[in-house]
């Protein structure tokens, strides 16, 4: 027996934790530079506002319905996510976090469905009381069926936040009402193939043979077919790791200060290095780029591909290479509008072959990086890092984040103050 814990409208719920006056009011959270809607409250969904719509296109609705908007506050969201995962880890020996707001729990030590539902209600209550974030929980025998159950738990109040698919009758009923394009693991191209074959629901899909699923959608589709039939065969930890990792941003205004651009790009570099280490990977190449607005008549580009003799995920090594590129290609008085870092040639960190001409002390570098990562994990992201790093004041100058909420839980100077 498995359970999927899925936080409801997570970014919006995080904002409401410290703004209880916004409960039952329409709220959206926006992407970088306040560009697009990336999270919506149920009240906003009821107004027909779609995910990903550019913010400027809904300005009329914002004024008409009094929609409150926030700039993304990932420090807050990440910290609350970590607190939720710590609570969940007390209820299972096998916790598989799938995303910032989702995690699978192994409940195989429970044999009774009623007992599992009671436990999940207790988990919901503890998270809501301790963190303030509402969650929905789906219970089933496979992860994909847990996703289906969570879908119904979130949308139908009668389930009180917990839905279980515990027998064949419940599975058939759930899949009959579940659109094929919403099935976990079925992407846009797979949906098109399935619809060409006359398949519109998850039940239509499982009613076909296993051979049909494998021939049409190959191994991923075959595993999804097995999951929908109740067999747990997907391990979140064994899902394919990313083969390229990108961190880039469009700035609110053209950046003509080289130091400011370097700070932003070093911040991007630290992000991709952390993601590499998180999936226990290293990279062979890194693309560094920055360019002026595409609407500018005279355009200028900083771009170079750096190839490492020894594959790496070391922040200092990546940062040093980035700074060499930026300083070599920098043009004074040029307004750079977008910049980013892409790492490629990603492979597992085990068994990396060192170059014969490598002069770096890799053992020392790894120990230093592990020490820094450990400090940052205990005391907060970027407590210790490699200079130059972007400062909060400079971040406000680079990006449109005027509606960003305080970092209530990660910055001492922004902790909520109460007057008694």
Helix, strand or coil, per DSSP, at residue 417: coil
Pick the CATH number of 1-166+407-420 from 1.10.3720.10, 2.170.150.20, 3.40.30.10, 3.30.70.270: 3.30.70.270
The architecture of the domain spanning 170-239 is Orthogonal Bundle (1.10)
> With left for phi above 0 and alpha for psi between -120 and 50, is residue 299 left, alpha or beta?
beta
Q: Specify the pTM.
A: 0.78
Tokens of 361: 């002390």
**399 closest CA partner among 11, 31, 54:** 31
Name the burial class of residue 140, with classes exposed (0-12), middle (13-18) and buried (19+) by CB atoms within 10 angstroms of its CB.
Answer: buried
Q: Bridge partners of 139? A: 3, 164
Where along the chain do its domains lie? Answer: 1-166+407-420, 170-239, 245-389
From the CB of residue 204, how many other CB atoms can be counted at a distance below 10 Å? Answer: 16
CA distance 165 to 174: 8
CATH 3.30.1490.100 fits 245-389, yes or no: yes
Q: pLDDT of the chain along its 420 residues, tens only?
A: 899 999 999 999 999 999 999 999 999 999 877 788 999 999 999 999 999 999 989 999 999 999 999 988 888 998 999 999 999 999 998 899 888 999 999 999 998 999 999 999 999 999 999 999 999 999 999 999 999 999 999 999 999 999 999 999 999 999 999 999 999 989 889 999 999 999 999 999 999 999 999 999 888 899 999 999 999 988 776 666 667 898 888 887 889 999 999 988 998 999 999 999 988 889 999 999 999 988 887 889 999 999 998 899 999 999 999 999 999 999 999 999 989 999 998 888 886 776 767 778 778 888 888 888 888 777 766 677 776 665 554 565 666 666 888 888 877 788 888 888
CA distance 149 to 171: 9
What DSSP character marks residue 242? P
């Amino acid at each position: 027996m498995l359970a999927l814990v899925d936080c409801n409208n997570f970014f919006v719920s995080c904002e409401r934790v410290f703004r209880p006056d916004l409960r039952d009011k329409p709220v959206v959270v926006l992407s970088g530079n306040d560009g697009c809607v990336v999270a919506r409250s149920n009240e906003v969904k009821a107004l027909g506002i779609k995910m990903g719509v550019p913010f400027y296109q809904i300005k009329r609705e914002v004024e008409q319905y009094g929609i409150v908007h926030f700039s993304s506050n990932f420090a807050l969201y990440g910290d609350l996510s970590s607190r939720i995962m710590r609570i969940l880890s007390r209820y299972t020996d096998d916790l598989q976090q799938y995303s910032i707001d989702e995690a699978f729990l192994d409940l195989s030590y429970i044999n009774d469905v009623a007992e599992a539902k009671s436990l999940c209600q207790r988990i919901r209550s503890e998270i809501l009381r301790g963190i303030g974030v509402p969650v929905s929980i789906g219970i089933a025998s496979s992860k994909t069926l847990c996703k289906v159950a969570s879908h119904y738990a979130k949308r139908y109040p009668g389930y009180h936040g917990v839905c279980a698919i515990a027998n064949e009758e419940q599975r058939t009923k759930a899949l009959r009402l579940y659109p094929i394009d919403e099935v976990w693991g079925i992407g846009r191209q797979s949906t098109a193939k399935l619809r060409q074959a006359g398949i519109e629901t998850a039940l239509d899909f499982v009613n076909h043979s296993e051979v049909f699923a494998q021939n049409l959608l190959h191994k991923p589709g075959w595993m999804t077919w097995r999951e929908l039939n109740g067999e747990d065969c997907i391990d979140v930890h064994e899902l394919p790791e990313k083969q390229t990792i990108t961190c880039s941003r469009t700035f609110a205004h053209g950046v003509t200060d080289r130091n400011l651009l370097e700070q932003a790009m070093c911040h991007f570099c630290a992000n991709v290095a952390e993601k590499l280490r998180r999936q226990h990977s290293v990279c062979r190449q890194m693309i560094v780029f920055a360019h002026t607005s595409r609407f500018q008549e005279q355009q200028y580009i900083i771009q170079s591909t750096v190839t490492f003799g020894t594959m790496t995920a070391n922040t200092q090594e990546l940062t040093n290479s980035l700074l060499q590129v930026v300083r070599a290609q920098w043009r004074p008085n040029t307004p750079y509008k977008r910049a980013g870092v892409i790492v490629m040639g990603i492979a597992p960190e085990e068994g990396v072959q060192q170059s014969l001409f490598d002069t770096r002390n890799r053992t020392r570098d790894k120990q230093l990086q592990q020490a820094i990562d450990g400090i940052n994990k205990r005391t907060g992201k970027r407590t210790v890092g490699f200079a130059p790093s972007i400062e909060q004041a400079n971040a406000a100058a680079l990006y449109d984040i005027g509606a960003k909420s305080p970092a209530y839980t990660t910055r001492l100077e922004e902790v909520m103050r109460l007057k008694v």
